[in-house]
Amino acid sequence: MRIEKDCVGKLEVPDDALYGIHSLRAAGNFPITEEKVDPLLIESYIQIKKASITANYGAKATDVIKYNTIVDACDYLLEHPSPESFITPAIQGGAGTSTNMNVNEVIANVAMKLHPDVFIHPNDDVNQAQSTNDTYPTAGKLAMIKRLPKLTGEINRLIEILDELSKKFQFTIKLGRTQLQDAVPTTYGKTFHAYASLFRRDLKRINSAENELKTVSMGGTAIGTGTNTTKYYRDHIVDEINKITGFDLKQDEDLIDAVQNTDHFVAFSSSLKTLAVDLSKFSNDLRLLGSGPQSGLNELILPKRQAGSSIMPNKVNPVIPEVVNQVAFEVIGFDATVTAASEAGQLELNAFEPIMFKSILTAEVHLARAIETLVDHCLDGIDVNVKQCLDDVRKSAVTATVLSPILGYNKTTELIKTATKEHETVPNLLIQNHILSPEKVKQLFSPEYLVNGES
């Protein structure tokens, strides 16, 4: 064991540990969850440290030896991740300082292992011209942006398969329903196309919110005033990050605002929440339209994935939509957490970014996996019970809505009442009572006219 000292006192640290006293204190202080800080956030942090020493070297604020040593350490950790060295819990007090110091300590110790003749201090050298308050939110934004392609890729897959289903069932007539009551007919082509349009909007919303994440507070240090930085550093730090990451981040025009306010995270979380709400509504529809089969709507035939009961033989449940529902509930809860955490910020800094980052980064992962599961195990293989849909349309008296422009609202209402009471179809009543000619009835109640009206 080695003895390390900080402002609180001394502590024993394992000899072979790359972390130091600050990391160890955090691990002991926050035994809330066994989940550690997200690896993508750590990777992003290391990239920020590499960019920072490069900007400091360009500003002539550090020498070439320390510059090369720290760059070597960062490159080593980026190529050889050391998850056992990053021990700070995902939920932590201190506005992310524990994570920043964990990264500082690991980089410093790796640097001195690679270059034993050079001394690197976690604060003075690795953390030079930085604060947790500008590096931590920047690392969080980088991590969220890096995680996004998987999610947007799955949303695109969802849209593509819905477009395919729309074309496949473009002429399959079905009964529309409003408030769970019979409404005018439509087609499954139109239904699936509407779902695709819904998720296209979600994708657009998420991409727009992602752009807000690309404005960062680097160079602001503690409260946005740039304390302990040089002008060269402030002018070049974001460019250096972009060179390393390949992103197009921009420095916020008002760094004080950027350090203390977290509305970018609220906006991004909200876009994920909206996607979750839409996925849940879609999953509810799938479950309802596939209900039965004997005594339900029985319009959709969902792929059979597993036995649904330990007591009822041959019962199969809509387990894929159900699991998507549950992910949606979780993400809606994450968004509530992000909202509350952002609102609770005070004065020059929000102390609650750790829980925001944990919530958002987890939401991105779970949403992507949920959509992947939905596409692969439900939509790929879903079918429409065409006969059931056509029978429902033929039996429903509400299809007589097409008669209102011809017979008037009141007379059409009486026809629907009679048809419902006598268990007769409206077309038969029209012909039997010589209200309309058989040819006109056939035209008005044809699937094409019921769905599209007179062209």
Residue 316 above 70 pLDDT? yes
Taking residue 253's Cβ as centre, other Cβ atoms within 10 Å add up to 8
Tell me how far apart the alpha carbons of residues 208 and 270 are, in angstroms, rounded to a whole number.
12
**362-366 contacts: CB < 8 A, separation 24 or more?**
362/334, 363/269, 363/272, 363/276, 363/330, 363/331, 363/334, 363/335, 364/144, 364/147, 364/148, 364/150, 364/151, 364/272, 365/147, 365/150, 366/327, 366/330, 366/331
Summarised one tens digit per residue, pLDDT across range 246-304 is 999 999 999 999 999 999 999 999 999 999 999 999 999 999 999 998 899 999 999 99
Q: Which residues contact 365 (CB under 8 A, 6 or more apart)?
A: 147, 150
The predicted pLDDT at position 1 comes to: 87
Summarised one tens digit per residue, pLDDT across range 410-422 is 999 998 899 888 8
Instruction: Tell me the pLDDT band of 226, cut-offs 50, 70 and 90.
Output: very high
Known catalytic residues?
309
Tell me how far apart the alpha carbons of residues 385 and 449 are, in angstroms, rounded to a whole number.
21
Summarised one tens digit per residue, pLDDT across range 70-83 is 999 999 999 999 99
Residue 298 burial (CB < 10 Å; 0-12/13-18/19+)?
Answer: middle
Tokens of 23: 């990391």
353 in Cβ contact with 264 (< 8 Å): no
331 in Cβ contact with 416 (< 8 Å): no
pTM, rounded to two decimals: 0.94
Residue 211 above 50 pLDDT? yes
Domains in the chain, CATH or no CATH each: 2-128 (1.10.275.10), 140-222+255-387 (1.20.200.10), 396-452 (1.10.40.30)
- The continuous run of DSSP H or E covering 132 comes out as helix 132-168
